[in-house]
Amino acid sequence: MSKLHYPAGTLCSGADPILLAPADAGWTYTGLRVLSLREGESRTLRTGDFEAFVLPLAGACTVRVDGLVFELAGRDSVFTRVTDFAYVPRDAEVELSTVGGLEVALPMARCGRRLDPKYGPAEEVPVEVRGGGQATRQVTNFGTPGVWDHADKLNACELITPDGNWSSYPPHKHDQASACEVVNEEIYYFRIAGQDGITPGREGFGIHRTYTADGALDENVAVRDGDVFLVPHGYHGPCIAAPGYPMYYLNVLAGPAPERSMAFCDDPAHAWVRESWADQPLDSRCPVTSHEGRVL
């Protein structure tokens, strides 16, 4: 089995689907937790030296931190709506509670500065349609530099790729400090919709590729709902949604640069593809969601 690909269930902690600390990944900054809370359940977490986003995947929740209370309306599924979220700082005690049940992601990054907690309204999250033709996809920029600047190290965004389309393309990398890129450790967390295009399930699949120019790293894996893929270095992309099965993924990035950035370099062998999109129509299925719900 790949040391970078973690099928659903291999990172679980009790009833929680994912517990991934930087040490587990063999790096320094980037981590991810996905928690599952039953109806009426509460959970108290301590962030330690990590800042995090509280990002509902399914369900609504109340977040209590530093004497503040944030009510997150959430969503039914990652394929139904752009959600609101909360930022919680390092060295904090955070209580999460839910009435109807909750699945929530906590993308996190080890950081030095302690900022204040903050609420992120869904209606202020920019939804970008990127690419062209069969490489059209939705990018939900809830936690990216220039959109959300209230973080020390943490970067995060969501993508929805309609079934049959390609995303994370052209292949790109961010593993050295150069004129076009910064160093970032990156996590891909996948959800794959079933036949209804809304409800995540294990019957569907997609493809993810990560590689280096010298061939030392060359991973081509089938990913299913709940899988995680780690990108410590190298080019990554494409992510391909199989026909019939839309693909979602949460990207979490952090690194040593003093300023947050998601700058990258395309693989020179495929960079020309990006320019070709100017002559291709966008896939009308994008955007898939907005803060008001599904677009189509």
- CATH number of the domain where residue 10 is located: 2.60.120.10
Q: For 281-291, how does the pLDDT look when each residue is reduced to its tens digit (9 = 90+)?
A: 999 999 999 99
Residue 286, domain member (yes or no): no
Range of the domain at 204: 5-280
The reported pLDDT for the residue numbered 274 is 95
Residue 294, domain member (yes or no): no
238 by Cβ neighbours in 10 Å (0-12 / 13-18 / 19+) ranks as buried
For residue 2, pLDDT beyond 90: no
Dist. CA 124–CA 148, nearest whole Å: 10
Q: Map residue 134 onto helix, strand or coil.
A: helix
Residue 23, domain member (yes or no): yes
User: How large is the average pLDDT for residues 163-180?
Assistant: 96
Local confidence band at 296 (pLDDT 50, 70, 90 cut-offs): confident
Residue 295, domain member (yes or no): no
Share of the chain above pLDDT 90, in %: 98
Q: For 71-101, how does the pLDDT look when each residue is reduced to its tens digit (9 = 90+)?
A: 999 999 999 999 999 999 999 999 999 999 9
Do 195 and 185 form a contact (C-beta atoms < 8 A)? no
Q: Map residue 278 onto helix, strand or coil.
A: helix
Closest CA to 43 of 102, 117, 83, 120: 102
Give the chain's domain count: 1
Write down the pTM of the prediction.
Answer: 0.98
Q: For 14-47, how does the pLDDT look when each residue is reduced to its tens digit (9 = 90+)?
A: 999 999 999 999 999 999 999 999 999 999 999 9
Q: How many residues are there in the chain?
A: 296
Residue 111, domain member (yes or no): yes
**Backbone φ, ψ for residue 285 (5° rounding):** -75, -10
- Stated as kind and residue range, the H or E segment containing 272 is helix 272-276
CA 193 to chain centre: 16
Q: For 212-267, how does the pLDDT look when each residue is reduced to its tens digit (9 = 90+)?
A: 999 999 999 999 999 999 999 999 999 999 999 999 999 999 999 999 999 999 99
For residue 273, pLDDT beyond 90: yes
Residue 293, domain member (yes or no): no
Please name the amino acid found at residue 229. F
Do 230 and 4 form a contact (C-beta atoms < 8 A)? yes
